[in-house]
Structure 1
């Protein structure tokens, strides 16, 4: 008999992007490190404080920029209703993280759940499905056209520098006005707004990677003022960098 739900805990070394598609609803989490995922023209970062709920059969692209330990849960489609959205990334509450950890004892996919396990997974599904209704705003667009994807890659490669929009446009062979229209049409955001999100996402990645001081991280992602970095971080995540790091543990 196929288990109604089971946990998957494993440690991975850094690796390039690959496609992931499973036949169950998938709660993808990291208990250590951080992983990146891309789908539907957007990209997210998953440190331990966050999770992605992915509908069964939905393909996503996953990459591991650093060593990561996953603590994920898979639900049979007959065990839970489909999520409200095909993909949602959200912050985990302490209750959700405790339930994910407790479900880690049930790792065999070919055994039925005992009553306690069934109650655990049912509770986790209820909590995760509710949290998924409030997705995280820390997301960056992936772009549809080749030109915009190049512009996004170049912007991300220069986060620690004094990056200028005009230089990005010149490097990909578009007038600044044309590239600005691409950003508006394909992302609904300005380049400056995307740059800000990229810097915060990179900062979250660094916060998850170790104990590098917040000031050093702020300068590494392109901010010249710690107060400006803290304000931008709080505006996007609702927490200070220090509070966000503390939520990983």
Structure 2
């Protein structure tokens, strides 16, 4: 039954992406990215999360919503979530009160329709093989986008980690925060309980999303700032999903 549910969600995702994605690309010739986001991006992303909930049985609950800055607060913000599955890449842009700008590898732009759509939105795509050039682009565009009221989102582990495990936390987000004076909001996400890494099969249940208090970068060093972000996320993950970490301890 879970396989059938998952297949139905996947079919809906693909079939809905084609008209909305093409609509976004065509509309980008006439309107700006904020309208593209509101007309096409958010409805599609929210639709995927809704389909996963209604058909796939993947619910969610959010803790710490009050820690997000008020809509009138124009401080520079970088979101640093735990990365366990594809679920959060859909959820955060659809749910957050501000338009988000991902930092992502340029290879994603080659994906038909999806990549074309991302190319028309004002986000930060980088060439990872050119580290210095990539960093300069992140810093320059990051300031510009945050000053437009957008929030930058960067997964500090870089890639998805298995449930109950911890990836290598990289300092890209903290370096950007220190350079630009932005604050980092750490976020714990237990998405692997319902959408494990490397699969498209759902496990009915509830994903917990916990939002931490913004951490100021003022007077901080990038290494110790990221260490604080990592400590908060990993401690919160163990509180939200203790069973996963107990299993890892038993297996080690």
> What TM-score, normalized to structure 2?
0.28
Higher relative contact order (CA 8 A, sep 6+): 2
Bigger proportion of residues as helix: 2
Bigger-Rg structure (1/2): 1
> What TM-score, normalized to structure 1?
0.28
